[in-house]
A and B are shown apart, each in its own frame.
Chain A
Amino acid sequence: MEELYRKIPCRESQLNDLFNLFGDYDEPLPCSLFLSGNMGTGKTLCLTSVLRYLGYKHVIIDCIECYTIKIICETILCGLNTTEIDIKCESILDFTNAINRINLNITQYQPVVLIFDRAERLRSMDQSIISAFLRLRELCNLNICTVFVTHLVYDSFYFKMGVREPIKIYFSNYNKEELFKIIFLNKESFTHHILKSHDVDYDVKIELEKPELFANFLNAFLSVFYRPCRDLIELQYMARVNFVKYCEPIIKNEIQSQDLSKLWRHISPILKTSLELLYLRLSSTQLSNPSPGKENSDNIESYNFESTLKEELTCTKTFAQSFELPYYAKFLLIAAYLASYNPPKEDKRLFMKNHGKQRKRLQQVKAKAKINEKLNTQLGPKVFTLDRLLAIFYAILEEKIGLTSNLLAQIATLVELKLIAGSKEIDLDTAKYKCIVGYDFISAVAQTVSFNVRKYLYDFM
């Protein structure tokens, strides 16, 4: 018991609740429990370790895997008795019958717990299923308890007719100190991770294994990361990545491990940059293969990686360049973007040389300022016809080229690359298109052909 509490820190009250509710082996279980709380707050961990400690018979049903009632029932029955191999179960009725048959084999009042993990998925099935599982205890003669584990609050389960209310337990988020405590528990694995990838001298190894070093790192780390991210899993992952960086100068004997301020100066820019990679999970294999032509220097410094990586992400520039589109295709794409985000009636003003002067009336200016929120770039792309696309294309292209089949094939290529969404229409007159790339992408493309997109966007006029 002590061990369990030590292994799962900061969840004492929830563990106590669970232990109390499950009680002793020969006592009746509650009808149903409902565990909710944000992702990564230890709901499933607490539940399964309590049940394993108590030694109760339990079956865990992941509602993503078990997406129909048939699979759910068969999984439960398989989990409950290993002797019967051929289990067929089509509906809840078969299930209750089968479970009552199990009851005949069980002589005493044995507790059985069914755990529905990610129970929010149950809502997509028939309503009667979750209601039936909520009162499963009444429907069969077993000492059975159903536990629903989900990240949603109970109110998000809209029951039309009301159900038998479960007992609800809430798992609150860990705060900063608790996160520190939990990540600190795994410090061995962190240092082990470093020692595996680097071969270090003995005395450096001693230094690295000091808990103070890791504690210092963790403090610095959490001070940066706690604000945008509270997800334990993500934080643990980011800490692992960054701890390697933190220790690098120590391994290279550039900074003494006691020199905290120097280490902080070393790590803070790294943390800042890796903050921008939060949740994105760029694996290290991707790191070692930067796009060709980008890596010109031989020395692979961590700084360099960070900066290139940052570039790769923040402006989607390399992503845009990685397509290596032909010259005209780039213009076609830009034209498509402009067609999607400009109102058609403004085309004349935007793209014609002699469009006449438009008087800006005060009222108009005001109206425009007011609907700042409803900019075209914010409302999403509109559809356009092929005619309009080609008209804009010729307007923004300075040289004169003929309309060849090659050019039209380029449009098909853009659709194929999912840069433009197009209907499968063969008739070119009725085909409607839509540009589905963002502004960042387009401006990166436009830069390569030295074209100013902003100049032609109605929103920015």
Chain B
Amino acid sequence: MVVSGENTVSVQIKLIRKYLKLKIMEDNVTFRSNSSHHQERAHVYDLIKRSIANGESHSALMIGPRGCGKTTLVNSVLSQISKEVDVENDAIIVKLNGLIHHDDKVALKSITAQMKLENVVGDRVFGTFAENLSFLLSCLQSGADRQCRSMVFILEEFDMFCHSGRTQTLLYNLFDITHSKQAPMCVLGITNRIDVMELLEKRVKSRFSHRHIYLFPYEDLEAEARGNKPKSPLECCKQILVFLLSVPISLAGDKVDVVKKKTGRSKKKSISNEQPSELEEDLLPDEVVKRCNINMEQFKALDSDFLNDWNSHVQSLLDDERVVDSLEKMCYYTVNEQIFRNILFQIVSKLGTNKPYIDATDLVSIIDKTVTPEHRVMLLQSLSILELSLVIAMKHGMEIFDGQPMNFEMILHRYTKFANANSSTQTVPRPVILKAFEHLQALEIVLPVKSTDSIYNAADTTASRVQKEYKLYTLAVPIEDINEAVKNFKALPTEISHWYNNSVD
């Protein structure tokens, strides 16, 4: 099949764009075969499998920084298990998220709903949390046709369940049940706080199995065990890039042209020799397809030649020096895969009929924008001259007095001293200057002392009796940012930059 005409190209590119967007945004199930966390995955798989199949009770904590693939790992394990055993009848999977269910009552309500026991509970009133939970478990034992179903609790944002101040009733009860014979249960906490153990109450801690599974990005225990050098972050980044941007050939519907397809494959093989695993591309997992309600039939319109071209194009991106450089730069700043996915999403969304290929300069600029956003400098540059003068006056004042906070009158004093010395500056009356100062306050370039939060939720308990002119403020932007902003300010009057540089008098 030969791609001909503008129309076909635009259709093709649209389908590719849609597929890639789905892959980047929705796929939190696929565990990359070249990922480095195989050992950890096997561990988690083992735990869950044992508690479902053998009725054992376990508890474990998964700890790792944001965006290193904790949730994806668990999802992939669950999807694998669901293919192997009859999860529907053998187990109940309850997912709780600390962001939503941090309140015990809310959590219990959600547990009831996820166990599909709302009708059984009805209007029953329970004395304690434990009573309620054990009632739920006893319902499982008697009500269901089987003898007993295992429970798998997955607690995301585990640290949010360890609220300080209140008692950790939910955690206590969950961990307690893992020790009793009431029901087989697996409790898996996911968190990004390494100090999470310190948050637990003593009675909770003693019931926890102390099984920690640490996940660190780009750390490969297996490779280390074999004595190999672990892959550098850059290599991993490159792999992710290729993985997320390539489209599986098997997606294309034109099976008629088998020979051509085969040649296409072999051609591709020659290009990507060093990544053999890449050929076993997997399609979007079924869970994702089902959840998103998409019809995979539509991708049949994709042309395999076009896909081959596309994949080799993605490969060729890695040969571009600029791309490699900026990927390396990104690795210095962040190892969060979610941020990287965001970057890729932005790139993919730029694809269109008049731009059928990924532009290396686009990639570079998006990475630059994401990892080193100079938004604060830009905000400073968007100030009017008057407002900037106030910032400079404040900076000078704080230099003289060793970073002591200043009030409006002091800043005004400095500013008028400057304005009187330079006749060319337009003078504005005090109310206008006060307004400009309040604008700085709203932008949080200056912050009131004693309440580190914003001006909005500062309840003004401490400073309520002070007039606004005399309230003390500190500069909330670093000096370096001001330097940068003044240096590159467009059409800055010379006397101001002069004043800025020859500061203290």
Q: Which residue of B17, B99, B385 is within 8 Å of A27 (Cβ)? A: B17
Residue A75 lies at the interface, judged by CB distance under 8 Å to chain B? no
Residue B269 lies at the interface, judged by CB distance under 8 Å to chain A? no
CB-based nearest A residue for B452: A158
* Size bracket, chain B contacts: 35 or more
A31 and B101: CB pair below 8 A? no
Specify which chain B residues have a CB less than 8 angstroms from the CB of A314 in the assembled complex.
Answer: 429
User: Which stretch from A4-12, A124-132, A390-398 is at the chain B interface?
Assistant: A124-132
B100 and A132: CB pair below 8 A? yes
Specify which chain A residues have a CB less than 8 angstroms from the CB of B312 in the assembled complex.
Answer: none
B349 and A20: CB pair below 8 A? yes
CB-CB contacts of A96-139 with B at 8 A, as 1s and 0s? 11000000000111000000000011011000100110010111
Q: Knowing A23-B349, A92-B99, A96-B100 touch, does A228 contact B21 (C-beta < 8 A)? A: no
Residue A313 lies at the interface, judged by CB distance under 8 Å to chain B? yes
Specify which chain A residues have a CB less than 8 angstroms from the CB of B470 in the assembled complex.
Answer: 379-381
Query: Nearest chain B CB to A310's CB is how many angstroms away?
Result: 9
Query: Nearest chain A CB to B94's CB is how many angstroms away?
Result: 14
Taking each of A92, A96, A378, which has the highest tally of chain B beta carbons within 10 Å of its own beta carbon? A378
Residue A26 lies at the interface, judged by CB distance under 8 Å to chain B? yes
CB-based nearest B residue for A378: B409
Residue A276 lies at the interface, judged by CB distance under 8 Å to chain B? yes
Residue A21 lies at the interface, judged by CB distance under 8 Å to chain B? yes
Q: Knowing A36-B375, A421-B465 touch, does A161 contact B110 (C-beta < 8 A)? A: no
CB-CB contacts of B440-462 with A at 8 A, as 1s and 0s? 00111000000001101100000
Specify which chain A residues have a CB less than 8 angstroms from the CB of B113 in the assembled complex.
Answer: 97
A167 and B345: CB pair below 8 A? yes
CB-based nearest A residue for B431: A280
A229 and B338: CB pair below 8 A? no
Specify which chain B residues have a CB less than 8 angstroms from the CB of A128 in the assembled complex.
Answer: 98-99, 102, 160
User: Which stretch from B172-180, B227-235, B246-254, B290-298 is at the chain A interface?
Assistant: B290-298
| Measured CA separation A436–B469 after assembly (Å) | 10
| Measured CA separation A81–B385 after assembly (Å) | 47
Specify which chain A residues have a CB less than 8 angstroms from the CB of B414 in the assembled complex.
Answer: 373
A38 and B382: CB pair below 8 A? yes
CB-based nearest B residue for A377: B409
CB-based nearest B residue for A29: B25
Q: Which residue of A23, A28, A231 is within 8 Å of B26 (Cβ)? A: A28
| Measured CA separation A30–B378 after assembly (Å) | 25
User: Which stretch from A169-177, A182-190, A252-260, A400-408 is at the chain B interface?
Assistant: A169-177
| Measured CA separation A421–B375 after assembly (Å) | 42
CB-CB contacts of B188-229 with A at 8 A, as 1s and 0s? 000011000000000000000000000000000000000000
Q: Which residue of A224, A280, A379, A421 is within 8 Å of B435 (Cβ)? A: A280
In the complex, chain B residues 55-95 whose Cβ is within 8 Å of any chain A Cβ: 66-67, 71
Q: Which residue of B71, B386, B467 is within 8 Å of A436 (Cβ)? A: B467
Grouping DSSP codes into helix (H, G, I), strand (E, B) and loop, the B interface class, with mixed when no group exceeds half, is helix
| Measured CA separation A93–B369 after assembly (Å) | 35
Specify which chain A residues have a CB less than 8 angstroms from the CB of B413 in the assembled complex.
Answer: 372-373, 375, 378
| Measured CA separation A155–B382 after assembly (Å) | 17
| Measured CA separation A163–B192 after assembly (Å) | 10
Specify which chain A residues have a CB less than 8 angstroms from the CB of B99 in the assembled complex.
Answer: 92, 128, 131-132, 135, 139
A168 and B432: CB pair below 8 A? no
| Measured CA separation A166–B342 after assembly (Å) | 8
B342 and A275: CB pair below 8 A? no
CB-based nearest B residue for A379: B470
Taking each of A24, A131, A165, A375, which has the highest tally of chain B beta carbons within 10 Å of its own beta carbon? A165
| Measured CA separation A279–B410 after assembly (Å) | 22
B192 and A162: CB pair below 8 A? yes
| Measured CA separation A92–B97 after assembly (Å) | 11
CB-based nearest B residue for A129: B99
Residue B428 lies at the interface, judged by CB distance under 8 Å to chain A? yes
B109 and A93: CB pair below 8 A? yes
User: Which stretch from A146-154, A208-216, A354-362 is at the chain B interface?
Assistant: A146-154
A141 and B106: CB pair below 8 A? no
A172 and B378: CB pair below 8 A? yes
CB-CB contacts of A25-51 with B at 8 A, as 1s and 0s? 011111100001111010000000000
A93 and B106: CB pair below 8 A? yes
B294 and A109: CB pair below 8 A? yes
Specify which chain B residues have a CB less than 8 angstroms from the CB of A164 in the assembled complex.
Answer: 66-67, 338
Specify which chain A residues have a CB less than 8 angstroms from the CB of B453 in the assembled complex.
Answer: 123-124
In the complex, chain B residues 375-392 whose Cβ is within 8 Å of any chain A Cβ: 375-376, 378-379, 381-386
A154 and B375: CB pair below 8 A? yes
CB-CB contacts of B384-420 with A at 8 A, as 1s and 0s? 1110000000000100110000010110011000000
| Measured CA separation A2–B453 after assembly (Å) | 43
Q: Which residue of A138, A152, A168, A275 is within 8 Å of B28 (Cβ)? A: A138
Query: Nearest chain A CB to B350's CB is how many angstroms away?
Result: 5
B432 and A279: CB pair below 8 A? yes
| Measured CA separation A93–B102 after assembly (Å) | 10
Q: Which residue of A21, A107, A138, A313 is within 8 Å of B431 (Cβ)? A: A313
| Measured CA separation A172–B379 after assembly (Å) | 8
| Measured CA separation A227–B389 after assembly (Å) | 11
Q: Knowing A121-B456, A151-B443 touch, does A30 contact B342 (C-beta < 8 A)? A: yes
Specify which chain A residues have a CB less than 8 angstroms from the CB of B373 in the assembled complex.
Answer: 154, 168, 170
Taking each of B384, B400, B469, which has the highest tally of chain A beta carbons within 10 Å of its own beta carbon? B384
Residue A269 lies at the interface, judged by CB distance under 8 Å to chain B? no
Residue A58 lies at the interface, judged by CB distance under 8 Å to chain B? no
B382 and A230: CB pair below 8 A? yes
Query: Nearest chain B CB to A285's CB is how many angstroms away?
Result: 19
Q: Which residue of A24, A30, A124, A227 is within 8 Å of B454 (Cβ)? A: A124
B467 and A23: CB pair below 8 A? no
A120 and B456: CB pair below 8 A? yes
Residue B273 lies at the interface, judged by CB distance under 8 Å to chain A? no
Q: Which residue of A36, A97, A156, A280 is within 8 Å of B432 (Cβ)? A: A280
Specify which chain B residues have a CB less than 8 angstroms from the CB of A343 in the assembled complex.
Answer: none
In the complex, chain A residues 252-283 whose Cβ is within 8 Å of any chain B Cβ: 275-276, 278-280
CB-based nearest B residue for A276: B429
| Measured CA separation A263–B352 after assembly (Å) | 52
Query: Nearest chain B CB to A96's CB is how many angstroms away?
Result: 6
| Measured CA separation A276–B434 after assembly (Å) | 12
Q: Knowing A108-B293, A373-B410 touch, does A93 contact B100 (C-beta < 8 A)? A: yes
B490 and A161: CB pair below 8 A? no
A28 and B336: CB pair below 8 A? no
| Measured CA separation A279–B160 after assembly (Å) | 45
Q: Knowing A153-B379, A168-B375, A380-B469 touch, does A28 contact B292 (C-beta < 8 A)? A: yes
Residue B103 lies at the interface, judged by CB distance under 8 Å to chain A? yes
Closest 4 pairs between A and B when the two form their complex, measured CB to CB = A380-B470, A124-B457, A173-B382, A279-B435
Task: List, sorted by A's number, 9 A–B pairs whose CB atoms are closer than 8 Å.
Answer: A28-B26, A30-B349, A38-B383, A91-B106, A109-B292, A162-B66, A163-B66, A231-B384, A373-B410
Chain A residues in the interface with B (C-beta under 8 A): 20-21, 23-24, 26-31, 36-39, 41, 91-93, 96-97, 107-109, 120-121, 123-124, 128, 131-132, 135, 137-139, 141, 143, 151-156, 161-168, 170, 172-173, 175-176, 224, 226-231, 275-276, 278-280, 313-314, 372-373, 375, 377-381, 421, 434, 436, 438, 440
Chain B residues in the interface with A (C-beta under 8 A): 14, 17-18, 21-22, 25-26, 28, 66-67, 71, 97-103, 106, 109-110, 113, 159-160, 192-193, 291-294, 336, 338-339, 342, 345-346, 349-350, 352, 369-370, 373, 375-376, 378-379, 381-386, 397, 400-401, 407, 409-410, 413-414, 426, 428-432, 435-436, 439, 442-444, 453-454, 456-457, 465-467, 469-470, 490-491
